[in-house]
Amino acid sequence: MINCEFLLYAIYDIIFTEKNDFLALSIEFTLDDVISIILDLEGNFAERIINSQIQQQTMINSDNAVIQSVKKLLSLMKDQERLSFMGTHVKREILFDVLYGSCGKQFLQSVINIQQADEIYEVNSWIKQNYKIPFTVEELAFKLNMSVSGFHQKFKSAVGMGPLQCQKRLRLTEARRLMLDENKSVTETSLDVGYESVSQLIRDYRKMFNASPKEDIQALNAIMKK
């Protein structure tokens, strides 16, 4: 679990009680929570954070947005049904704004804790833009003049999964979107996201979403119609 307590101390004014002690809030996220945010965003998101390329006003706005999202999360505590549905979305909002805020670089560095993070995230940005085309880990390692094992270890430490796993997740996430939003067939979707085999897409899809594409999309459509 990743503890954001230090971030909240940095962002919020400490609230003192009548006894001169103080109240603080600690929110825990899993590494998967952080990884999903990074993978879901377009462009060189993590690379810009690591290289301190986020504008000052953007960080200020994000810090303020964290406060509002935390208040929203606390307001849901009284309604467990709303909390179970909305809580995940609000926590994603908090993570997004923490990463874009004044503590984003320190937070991301504490998560990955590796050297050459900027180069690793450059490769990650390339994968996000080219996930539909085939590539090998050897090719990516060659780009950074690193050994295959060294590159794979550093990439996994920074991103939370190997390069090919990252590519697969991006393909399957886009496949889900295409079938849900654009009503594309499994066959069409398979070709659109770079799979050479429809059966392989179905196998990978079931492993990731715990249902076949048809079952998953039907369930999602049913939820959206309620």
For 194, phi and psi rounded to 5 degrees?
Answer: 100, 5
Q: What is the pLDDT of residue 164?
A: 94
Domain 165-225 has CATH 3.40.50.300: no
103 vs 43: which has the higher pLDDT: 103
Predicted confidence (pLDDT) at residue 4 exceeds the cutoff of 60: no
Q: What is the pLDDT of residue 24?
A: 58
Pairing of strands 22-23, 15-16: antiparallel
Domain spans of the chain, in order of start: 2-111, 117-161, 165-225
Contacts 24+ apart (CB under 8 A), 11-20: 11/63, 11/66, 11/67, 11/101, 11/102, 11/103, 12/67
Predicted confidence (pLDDT) at residue 15 exceeds the cutoff of 80: no
Q: In this structure, are residues 147 and 185 in contact, taking their beta carbons and an 8 Å threshold?
A: no
164 vs 80: which has the higher pLDDT: 164
Predicted confidence (pLDDT) at residue 8 exceeds the cutoff of 50: no
CA distance 98 to 153: 26
> Residues near 175 by Cβ (< 8 Å), separated by ≥ 6?
189, 190, 192, 193, 201, 205, 213
CA distance 173 to 167: 10
pLDDT band at residue 226, thresholds of 50, 70 and 90?
low
Task: For residue 107, give both structure tokens.
Answer: 């937070």
Q: What is the pLDDT of residue 72?
A: 84
CA 194 distance to own-chain centroid? 22
**Mean pLDDT computed over 42-67:** 83
Strand partners, 23: 15
**Mean pLDDT computed over 109-125:** 72
Residue 80 burial (CB count, 10 A)? 10
- The verdict on pTM exceeding 0.85 is no
CA distance 3 to 36: 17
What's the mean pLDDT when you consider all of the chain? 81
